[in-house]
């Protein structure tokens, strides 16, 4: 990681994929130019915030002429390192694991779930799409051999920390955790949580409880 | 919404469920007292940030004696309005919809998916657990009758905006969007996105592409 990267707040990095998605959608409609104002309207983010976020990475667009959508899109893809193909390991082949393994949105964005693991003997050897579920007992070696750096954890909460530990020993440095529990990782590992309960609880704060029936 | 709520930044609100989850896990171990330092270590958030976040809602704990876990937990539950039962509607009964409908973590936290909708005639009438998939054609009336305020959208991206519009007409004010697309909602509606691609793209920023094989 170089020094300029360390200087960009992670919350800014977190917004870049959102900008990239909006730009991709605009490009699909054939539109060629956009503005921080138009992006802001689409995303519910102020145009000043968008300009400030992008300014961390150099100059984008010209005053008064807006952004060339394809150019900005490609620059964001390079900044985020998503101008390439990433292999991803998936641990846990329950309902959620199956949904993730079959989700078409990953490959469209350059992510490919190439290895799937579970500890349930009834699942090991079963195919999901083009992949075959493998035993977690071989996970560490398989991931290391493949040089995979990213993994999704979709195991029961009680198994999440042990799974993360194994993944990190195998060389994984980015973990997307679907298990509904907090896990600890060393500083060099990026950890993101996907827990719908946290999102729901963030919304109910704004909803007046009196308005519901029970 | 009262005035004090409007004054708390949404990013602070977004951290409260994370604190609540950590407190719940600590309580389960039988621990009675914690500190902003211990919480911060668990969560990778600075103890100063935790104290500042909580200070928006009054005084918690005493200098030098830490927080009583159960007391802080209950206060956070009240603040977030999760000290009660919330009914949730789910739209889209594909792989992901099934995984959500069967996920045990919602009910444990007071959320109950009571209505499930799909537009596919092959799915309508099919049961998932205790619920039966209903036709989206009756969605607006069913949600309005039930007084449901929260919904999860797990439909294809192309249908997401129309689904959100219908939900909002039915009285929904909190939408958890799993569809991989941006949707627009009026200001009184809270919208949260769950898109694993956005999370993966946020992590690849930190991973040196040279370290992978292809």
DSSP A191-209: EEE--HHHHHHHHHTTS-G
Mean pLDDT on A143-170: 96
pLDDT of A116 strictly over 60: yes
pLDDT of residue A3: 42
Q: What is the pLDDT of residues A167-183, one digit of tens each?
A: 999 999 999 999 988 88
Residue B205 and residue A44: Cβ atoms within 8 Å? Answer: no
Residue B176 and residue A192: Cβ atoms within 8 Å? Answer: no
State ipTM: 0.88
Question: Residue B135 belongs to what H/E stretch?
Answer: strand B131-135
DSSP-derived 3-state class of residue A83: coil
CA-CA-CA-CA torsion sign (B139, B144, B146, B150)? positive
DSSP-derived 3-state class of residue A86: strand
B5 at interface of A, judged by CB pairs closer than 8 A = yes
pLDDT of residue B211: 47
Task: Specify the pTM.
Answer: 0.81
A192 at interface of B, judged by CB pairs closer than 8 A = yes
Residue B147 and residue A212: Cβ atoms within 8 Å? Answer: yes
B45 at interface of A, judged by CB pairs closer than 8 A = no
pLDDT of residue A208: 76
pLDDT of residue B213: 46
**Chain B, nearest residue to A145 by Cα:** B213
B180 at interface of A, judged by CB pairs closer than 8 A = yes
Separation of alpha carbons A168 and A188, rounded Å: 10
Arithmetic mean of pLDDT over chain A: 90
Burial of B128 (0-12, 13-18, 19+ CB in 10 A): middle
pLDDT of A212 strictly over 60: no
Separation of alpha carbons A128 and A62, rounded Å: 48
Residues of A in contact with B209 (CB under 8 A): 81, 84
Separation of alpha carbons A135 and A67, rounded Å: 48
CA distance B138 to chain A (A): 20
pLDDT of A2 strictly over 60: no
Q: Higher model confidence: residue A11 or residue B28? A: B28
Neighbours of B26 (CB within 10 A): 22
Partner residue opposite A86 with nearest CB, options B149, B195, B204: B204
CA distance B35 to chain A (A): 17
Which structure tokens are listed for A88? 């991803």
Partner residue opposite A194 with nearest CB, options B14, B174, B199: B199
Within 114-143 of A, beta carbons closer than 8 Å to B belong to none
pLDDT 10s digit of each residue in chain B, 214 long?
A: 444 555 788 888 989 999 999 999 899 999 999 999 999 888 878 899 999 999 999 877 666 778 999 999 999 999 999 999 999 999 999 989 999 998 888 988 999 999 999 999 999 999 998 999 999 999 999 999 999 999 999 999 899 999 999 999 999 999 999 998 888 899 899 999 898 999 999 999 999 765 444 4
Residues of A in contact with B182 (CB under 8 A): 18, 21-22, 25, 42-43
Neighbours of B210 (CB within 10 A): 5
B194, B196, B210, B213, best to mutate vs chain A, most A CBs in 10 Å:
B196
Neighbours of A206 (CB within 10 A): 18
């Amino acid at each position: 990681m170089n020094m300029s990267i360390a200087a960009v707040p992670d919350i800014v990095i977190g917004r870049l994929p959102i900008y990239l998605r909006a730009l991709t959608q605009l490009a699909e409609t054939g539109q060629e130019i956009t503005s921080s104002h138009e992006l802001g309207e689409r995303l519910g983010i102020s145009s000043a915030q968008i300009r400030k976020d992008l300014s961390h990475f150099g100059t984008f667009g010209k005053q008064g002429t807006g952004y060339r959508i394809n150019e900005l899109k490609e620059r964001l893809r390079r900044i985020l390192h998503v101008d390439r193909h990433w292999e991803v390991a998936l641990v846990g082949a329950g309902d959620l694991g199956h949904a993730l393994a079959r989700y078409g949105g990953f490959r469209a964005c350059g992510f490919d779930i190439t290895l799937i693991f579970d500890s349930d003997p009834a699942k090991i050897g079963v195919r999901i799409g083009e992949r075959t579920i493998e035993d977690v007992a071989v996970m560490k070696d398989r991931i290391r051999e493949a040089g995979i750096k990213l993994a999704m954890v979709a195991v029961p909460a009680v198994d999440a920390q042990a799974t993360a530990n194994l993944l990190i020993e195998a060389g994984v440095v980015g973990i997307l955790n679907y298990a509904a529990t907090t896990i600890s990782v060393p500083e060099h590992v990026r950890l993101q949580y996907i827990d719908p309960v946290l999102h729901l609880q963030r919304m109910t704060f704004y909803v007046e409880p009196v308005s519901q029936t029970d």
